[in-house]
Amino acid sequence: MADNENVEKITKSDQEWRAQLTPEQYAVLRQHGTERPFTGEYVHTKADGTYHCAACGQPLFASDTKFESGSGWPSFWDVVDQGNVDLRTDTSHGMRRTEVLCSRCGSHLGHLFEDGPRDQTGMRYCINSVALKLKPEE
């Protein structure tokens, strides 16, 4: 699962990321952490718009692909553009999962599972709220 080479990359020092992000954002986005389930701002949000990377602003998910998964994290059945995310194998915590990262800045967004809506893609992008910024439709 290779990085997308068609996206202009953003590279910042650790010090720059710490200055830009809140401590919770830094822990999730840069240290590959996970927010507690059912605590995120966007878990139950139904507003129309596009969800962007909280670190660099890259568009990631459209609100019309968001669904209630019951997992405790915002879940989407597709991305705005496959090139906007990178997928990597994650074997942390004794599990084998597919990690979802922003292809522009390399920030950890969440994980991808194959238990999403069967009438759509069958995929569930399980994403930390703190990794997202919703930009409402105008």
Active site residues: 126
Q: Look up residue 14 and give its two tokens.
A: 């650790």
DSSP state of 58: -
Could you write out the DSSP letters of every residue in 42-62? Answer: TSS----EEEEETTT--EEEE
Strand partners, 127: 110
Question: Three-class SS of residue 66?
Answer: strand
